[in-house]
Amino acid sequence: MNKIAILTSGGDAPGMNAAIRAAVRKGIHEGLEVFGIYNGFQGLIEGKIEQLDAGSVGDIIQRGGTMLHSSRCPEFKTAEGQAEGLRQLRERGIEGLVVIGGDGSFRGAQALSELGFACVGVPGTIDNDIRGTDYTLGFDTALNTVIDAIDKIRDTATSHERTFIVEVMGRDAGDLALWAGVAGGAESILIPERPHDIKEIISRLRQGTGRGKKHSILIVAEGVMTGHALAGQLKEAADIETRVSVLGHIQRGGSPTGRDRVLASKFGARAVEVLIEGKTGVAVGMRNHAVIDYPLTEVFSRREGMEDGLYELSKELSI
């Protein structure tokens, strides 16, 4: 292997730049030429490809977003799109590709891999919802962004003795809502992986008021329902007034935390090693505190449930 390329795809996540930097420098350290593909698979098809040197990834480890930009690319789901992408890579003598993104992006990597091109995926999404790895880049930064918002909202909640609903990202995965809810001392946390009972939520709110709590904060993952929908249910079922805060896009941005920068560095470097070792159709990830690689096919099955007891603990601690 002499030449490899890197792209970022799907929703951006803090730590993507750190992973790009690590892949570029690790590649150069191993004697490879490294290319950056701009705008994800769309840019691959369009040939937006440039060589990167060690200096071109300087001063980016601390930046949110992705310097290679990203996009969603329906065209790459077609055989024609994939063939054109392959042509662009082979034309330049590129022999391996690092794809940083979520599971949608991994499908593109898998497609190329099945066409005989060496591909490795790096999990980058704030949702922490990729099967096979304990961690996806961006989760830790998003977690701290959400907590910072909850801490601010608590000031007002306490001062006005009000109940707030905070809607956080997470269509299929409740990790962000659950961790943020535990860390923010939320009264109730609604996540897609667990059924919720509006009566129990109401009873917990009343219990809190009963023991003199000055405020209550409910966290709801967008995959369960919107914050406004929950507010409506509480109003209708028990005449409880709430305020709603929809955190939205601020959850994707910001300078990555130390953990995201370090794990991104490990993941990006490991991805290059994996290509050099001749593997393809694999993802890097973390399992049991160690960086590992495993077949991409493992990603495309239903997600495991949450088994670590944190949801149950959250109820015991928010009395």
What's the CA gap between 289 and 13, in Å, rounded?
Answer: 21
| Contacts (Cβ under 8 Å, ≥6 apart) of 160 | 215
Q: Which is nearer to its own copies, 99 or 180 (CB)?
A: 180
Would you please indicate which residues are annotated as catalytic (active-site) residues? 127
The reply, when asked if residue 154 is annotated as ligand binding, is yes
Q: Rule CB under 8 A: say whether 317 interacts with its own copies.
A: yes
Residue 164 main-chain phi, psi, to 5 deg = -115, 145
What's the CA gap between 95 and 130, in Å, rounded?
Answer: 26
Alpha helix ranges (H) inside the chain = 16-29, 40-46, 79-91, 103-114, 139-160, 175-183, 198-210, 227-238, 258-276, 310-317
* Residue 290, helix vs strand vs coil: strand
What's the CA gap between 66 and 73, in Å, rounded?
Answer: 16
The reply, when asked if residue 127 is annotated as ligand binding, is yes
- Give exposure, 31-53, as e/b (b: 16+ Cβ within 10 Å): ebbbbbbbbbbbbbbbebbeebe
What's the CA gap between 186 and 177, in Å, rounded?
Answer: 10
The reply, when asked if residue 302 is annotated as ligand binding, is no
Q: Rule CB under 8 A: say whether 59 interacts with its own copies.
A: yes
Q: Taking CB under 8 A as the criterion, which residues in 25-44 touch its own copies?
A: 25-26, 28-29, 39
The reply, when asked if residue 125 is annotated as ligand binding, is yes
Q: Taking CB under 8 A as the criterion, which residues in 73-132 touch its own copies?
A: none
Smallest distance, Å, CB 145 to its own copies? 7
Q: Which is nearer to its own copies, 64 or 170 (CB)?
A: 64
Residues in the chain: 319
The reply, when asked if residue 277 is annotated as ligand binding, is no
Smallest distance, Å, CB 111 to its own copies? 22
The reply, when asked if residue 191 is annotated as ligand binding, is no
Q: What character string, x for contact with its own copies (CB under 8 A) and - otherwise, covers 166-205?
A: -------------xx-xxxx--------------------
| Total residues interacting with its own copies, rule: CB under 8 A | 86
188: amino acid identity, one letter: S
Smallest distance, Å, CB 114 to its own copies? 28
Q: What character string, x for contact with its own copies (CB under 8 A) and - otherwise, covers 240-259?
A: ---xxxxxxxx-xxxx-xxx
Smallest distance, Å, CB 41 to its own copies? 14
Part in contact with its own copies (CB under 8 A); list of ranges 74-82, 96-104, 109-117, 264-272: 264-272
Smallest distance, Å, CB 213 to its own copies? 7
**Residue of 36, 43, 65, 101 that binds its own copies (CB under 8 A):** 65
**Residue of 22, 111, 119, 120 that binds its own copies (CB under 8 A):** 22
The reply, when asked if residue 152 is annotated as ligand binding, is no
The reply, when asked if residue 81 is annotated as ligand binding, is no
Whether 299 contacts 55, CB under 8 Å:
no
CA distances (Å), 291 to each of 56, 123, 274, 287, in order? 26, 12, 11, 6
| Contacts (Cβ under 8 Å, ≥6 apart) of 174 | 189, 191, 192, 193, 194, 221, 223, 224, 306
| Contacts (Cβ under 8 Å, ≥6 apart) of 56 | 24, 36
Q: Rule CB under 8 A: say whether 145 interacts with its own copies.
A: yes
Smallest distance, Å, CB 180 to its own copies? 7
Point out the annotated binding site for Mg(2+). 103
Point out the annotated binding site. 11, 21-25, 72-73, 102-105, 125-127, 154, 162, 169-171, 185-187, 211, 213-215, 222, 243, 249-252
Point out the annotated binding site for ATP. 11, 72-73, 102-105
